[in-house]
Amino acid sequence: MTDFTIEDLRARLRECAGDIDGADLDGDTLDTPFVELGYDSLALLQVTAVISRERSIVIDDDAAIEAQTPRMLLKVINSVPRQSD
């Protein structure tokens, strides 16, 4: 399975939580805290639930919430092994 990328994450954030006024997701946001981008923990849980279903993985809710930046969340997502079918 290919790694989940920042582009993938941006798309899911927009789909699930919407575009936040003033947030430039297309800029260099890898190390920008989600709170500065306007996304709260509920938005992150929503996004990770969608990603979990799409990729057939289980993302730990606590790990997702502890991921303060897109870079940290990508690390969490990409470190989860895919479930056997």
Please give the DSSP secondary-structure letter assigned to residue 48: H
C-alpha span between 32 and 34 (Å, rounded) = 6
- Kindly report the pTM of this predicted structure: 0.85
User: Mind listing the pLDDT tens digit for each residue in 13-58?
Assistant: 988 877 665 556 667 889 999 998 888 999 999 999 999 999 999 9
Other CB atoms closer than 10 Å to residue 34's CB: what's the count?
A: 23
CATH number of 6-18+31-79: 1.10.1200.10
The residues, ordered by sequence, that sit 6+ positions from 22 with a Cβ below 8 Å of its Cβ are: 38
State the Cα–Cα distance between residues 11 and 15, nearest whole angstrom: 6
Q: Where are the domains of the chain?
A: 6-18+31-79
